[in-house]
Chains A and B, each alone.
Chain A
Amino acid sequence: MADNIPKTPLLDELEKGKWPSFVTEIKMAAEKNPMAADLLGQLEQSYREKIGHWKHGGIVGVMGYGGGVIGRYSDLPKEYPNISHFHTMRINHPAGWYYTSDILRKICDIWEKHGSRLTNMHGSTGDIILLGTRTEELEPTFSDLQKIDFDIGGSGSDLRTPSCCCGMSRCEWACYDTMALTYDLTMHYQDELHRPAFPYKFKFKMSGCPNDCVASIARADMSIIGTWRDSIQINQDAVREYADRGLDIKADVIANCPGKCIDWDGKELHIDNSFCKRCMHCINVMPKALKPGKDRGATILIGSKAPIIEGAFLSSVFLPFIKIEPPYTQIKDMVDKIWDVWCEEGKNRERVGEFIQRVGLGNFLDAIEMEPVAEMVAHPRENPYVFYEEYFEEDDGEEEEESE
């Protein structure tokens, strides 16, 4: 098979240097797999011509599922027949991306049997990406995957595979159990995940604290970010130890506090928690001395997305604070209401954030029966064009009395 590996002078340049080379990975796979060999050939041609050689989409899948498989066909099937089909399967990863060598080997065995030997660990949304197989291999791949309890992830206008930071499994800053919530929502919304029925995609991302290691605020339609309501926990001895070891608490900690609410007299650190913005900086700098408070939960924000089509959005505050405890009924009720309104009124390919901006956050809150709170806005409106919804006529009062 090694003889079938095409000459790739341009790609070979990408085997130089210290960073792990994807070209080396494709070559490793190509030793034993003709799809990977043809991928090398086509990619070399793309490098020569400065253009991709994949056709646009194609609907393929496995029985009973509407998403999770991305159809991909080479536009040079005669030159590269082994990648005339080169479909991607998105496989729902275990929350937190934890594996044992045992389970990873089983996944490898399946992909050795059915695919190109190439994967992405992982795709941007979080799925295991099995990269490149033929249409007739999709169903057998799924059949083998289900034997080891791995199911398909989301694609298209459906709920995308929820993902989260490692949370309480390895992080002292986690303000709620991100992995538990991710697993629960994933299982609860299996139908929405596997059968595209939304106006467009919808993503949940769970971050355990405001450091937001999974970039939830930038790329999730619903960003669930851990926070706390009470006071930052302080170990004064540990603070003094940081100072003794050379940390300049005034410059490094206090000067960077966005709430300007920390004092240090050389012996005691004082935080006025009523002005703390829960930014995490002081905790990040002194992890041995400071911890989030004990009354922990999350801020839920809504609406972030990449630019297509109304421009890039960050999520904005929806619920300033909520306790995150199973069975998460309040979150699910809220999600169901949001989806009802968005699915009914949203336009094709309109993300929920775009929908909210089109109809107005105030009107959206009315529709899902939520009250506006000041935490939802950076500041109140600056323009006076208010859509007041009621006005009085001279005799309104009397009429109302009569009607009662």
Chain B
Amino acid sequence: MAEEKVERRTDFGPPHYEQFLPPVIKSNYGKWDFHEILKPGVMVHVSESGDKLYTVRAASGRMVSIDKIRIYCDLADKYCDGYLRFTSRHNIEFLLTKEENVDPLIADLAELGHPVGGVGNAISSIVHTQGWIHCHSAATDASGIVKCVMDDLIEYFEGTKLPGKIRIALACCLNMCGAVHCSDIAILGIHRRPPRIEHDRLNKMCEIPNVVASCPTAAIRPAEVEGNPSVEVLEERCMFCANCYTVCPSMPLNDPLNDGVSIWVGGKVSNARHEPMFSKLAIPFIPNNPPRWPEVTQAVRGIVELWAANANKYERIGEWIERIGWPKFFKMAGIEFQKEHIDDFKHAGLTYKRSTHLTF
């Protein structure tokens, strides 16, 4: 059987982006003058030359089948000469030059079940991780919670009635493939049970010194257990980071009884107004309750609507809370302040309130 002869190349890198740019972008590259949001999910960018580019942004589920991608392609062919892009938040954007094609495209997307929105003072798609679909260390599912939260908040994706921007992100464990730690609202999967050590195979699977060194609180020590070289964990020192599990498969932390999610608020990455901020702990633990996680969707909606009702125009959640103070936030949100809210890792003292600037 004659084998197909193809030269095997490596390190040739990605294709150059230029070949995928629509002509209106090629000819106006670096010459855009201003943009306007025409309606939810639709922007027009106007060039110095007067050329206009209409962008229609639609929700996409991050997990997309090739069958769906082919439908996207058909829509792009029908309305915008085959040109489309994706955003850093998993949205899909169609790039149109004909304004008259905007509404028919939106109608087709609606029929396909892909809402248009997420531009301006709206909730854009949730950046998230793999969860139970593809990850070994997930403390919760990712796509499922995202689906439920966005179903619940769809009016804020399709509308622009919020005071400012809000970015929600979800990571299914502390590894945070999605880097959720600077989001207005972060949904973070957490483990709460120390690793179950598989003593009979740990020494075959893992390098014990690496396992010991992986623990940030020095909770892991070498030990001989039932004749096997292994490790022991000082459980009171375990803060469930799962770094040991990352370096050693024989230390799993996944546990249906104790895994769940925590909710963090007030982070941002944009430099607009306030400097970038980390998200801070609001709700320490909500049990996993698939398939619809009602406690999580309710908690997220509660925070979004509290902020929307009380923030000044443009104020992100973190800016709003900084103005009113955290005690007031906890009171208004009806969240009980607990020991878990107080930092006890490195530099924790910097998070204590060090003034008498208090409201009552």
The reply to whether B76 and A287 form a contact with Cβ atoms under 8 Å apart is no
The reply to whether A281 and B88 form a contact with Cβ atoms under 8 Å apart is no
Does residue A120 face the partner (Cβ distance < 8 Å to B)?
Answer: yes
Cβ contacts under 8 Å, B115 to chain A: 18-20
A52-B138, A308-B174, A314-B276 given as contacts; is B64 within 8 A of A25 (CB)? yes
The reply to whether A143 and B6 form a contact with Cβ atoms under 8 Å apart is yes
Whole-angstrom distance between the alpha carbons of A31 and B178 in the complex?
30
Q: How many residues of B contact A (CB 8 A)?
A: 119
The reply to whether B143 and A22 form a contact with Cβ atoms under 8 Å apart is yes
With beta carbons under 8 angstroms apart, the residue of A17, A39, A56, A308 that contacts B147 is A17
A104-B69, A314-B182 given as contacts; is B271 within 8 A of A278 (CB)? yes
Cβ contacts under 8 Å, A321 to chain B: none
CB proximity of A4 to chain B, nearest CB, Å: 16
Q: Which of A184-192, A332-340, A363-371, A389-397 contacts B (4 or more CB under 8 A)?
A: A184-192
Cβ contacts under 8 Å, A126 to chain B: 88
Does residue A307 face the partner (Cβ distance < 8 Å to B)?
Answer: yes
CB-CB contacts below 8 Å: B63-98 with A: 63-70, 72-74, 76-77, 82-88, 90, 92
Whole-angstrom distance between the alpha carbons of A293 and B340 in the complex?
46
Cβ contacts under 8 Å, B11 to chain A: 151, 190-191, 194
Does residue B223 face the partner (Cβ distance < 8 Å to A)?
Answer: no
Binary interface encoding of chain B residues 140-171 relative to chain A, with 1 for a CB under 8 A from any of its CBs, else 0: 01011011101110100100000000000001
CB-CB contacts below 8 Å: B215-265 with A: 216, 241, 243, 245-247, 249, 252, 254-256, 259
The reply to whether A211 and B270 form a contact with Cβ atoms under 8 Å apart is yes
Q: Which of A94-102, A265-273, A323-331 contacts B (4 or more CB under 8 A)?
A: A94-102
A22-B63, A96-B17, A117-B65 given as contacts; is B270 within 8 A of A170 (CB)? no
Does residue A13 face the partner (Cβ distance < 8 Å to B)?
Answer: yes
Binary interface encoding of chain A residues 310-323 relative to chain B, with 1 for a CB under 8 A from any of its CBs, else 0: 11101000000000
Residue of B nearest to A289 (CB): B34
Residue of B nearest to A347 (CB): B213
CB proximity of A2 to chain B, nearest CB, Å: 13
A18-B115, A54-B134 given as contacts; is B273 within 8 A of A93 (CB)? no
CB-CB contacts below 8 Å: A202-250 with B: 210-219, 225
A311-B345, A314-B276 given as contacts; is B14 within 8 A of A93 (CB)? yes
CB proximity of B25 to chain A, nearest CB, Å: 5
Does residue A118 face the partner (Cβ distance < 8 Å to B)?
Answer: yes
Does residue B42 face the partner (Cβ distance < 8 Å to A)?
Answer: no
Q: Which of B124-132, B298-306, B330-338 contacts A (4 or more CB under 8 A)?
A: B124-132
Does residue B203 face the partner (Cβ distance < 8 Å to A)?
Answer: no
Residue of A nearest to B248 (CB): A56
A119-B64, A217-B269 given as contacts; is B249 within 8 A of A99 (CB)? no
Cβ contacts under 8 Å, A211 to chain B: 270-272
The reply to whether B271 and A280 form a contact with Cβ atoms under 8 Å apart is yes
The reply to whether B34 and A287 form a contact with Cβ atoms under 8 Å apart is yes
Residue of A nearest to B215 (CB): A309
The reply to whether A18 and B151 form a contact with Cβ atoms under 8 Å apart is yes
Whole-angstrom distance between the alpha carbons of A280 and B33 in the complex?
16
The reply to whether A112 and B179 form a contact with Cβ atoms under 8 Å apart is no
Cβ contacts under 8 Å, B90 to chain A: 120-122
Does residue B359 face the partner (Cβ distance < 8 Å to A)?
Answer: no
Whole-angstrom distance between the alpha carbons of A311 and B61 in the complex?
30
Does residue B326 face the partner (Cβ distance < 8 Å to A)?
Answer: no
Does residue B360 face the partner (Cβ distance < 8 Å to A)?
Answer: no
Binary interface encoding of chain B residues 318-339 relative to chain A, with 1 for a CB under 8 A from any of its CBs, else 0: 0000000000000000000000
Cβ contacts under 8 Å, A284 to chain B: 272
Does residue B12 face the partner (Cβ distance < 8 Å to A)?
Answer: yes
CB proximity of A69 to chain B, nearest CB, Å: 13
Whole-angstrom distance between the alpha carbons of A102 and B355 in the complex?
61
The reply to whether B83 and A168 form a contact with Cβ atoms under 8 Å apart is no
The reply to whether A20 and B61 form a contact with Cβ atoms under 8 Å apart is yes
A17-B151, A101-B74 given as contacts; is B132 within 8 A of A46 (CB)? yes
Cβ contacts under 8 Å, A112 to chain B: 66
Whole-angstrom distance between the alpha carbons of A94 and B249 in the complex?
34
Does residue B274 face the partner (Cβ distance < 8 Å to A)?
Answer: yes
Does residue A26 face the partner (Cβ distance < 8 Å to B)?
Answer: yes
Does residue B35 face the partner (Cβ distance < 8 Å to A)?
Answer: yes
CB-CB contacts below 8 Å: A241-264 with B: 251-252, 256, 258
Provide a sorted-by-A list of 13 A–B residue pairs whose CB atoms are within 8 angstroms: A17-B152, A20-B114, A101-B74, A103-B20, A112-B66, A119-B69, A146-B6, A146-B8, A151-B14, A183-B17, A211-B270, A218-B181, A310-B216
Told that A118-B63, A171-B45, A252-B313 touch, could you supply 5 new A-B pairs with CB distance under 8 A?
A10-B291, A52-B132, A101-B84, A120-B90, A170-B25
Of all A-B residue pairs in the complex, the 6 with the closest CB atoms, nearest first, are A17-B151, A56-B249, A306-B176, A101-B73, A219-B179, A210-B271
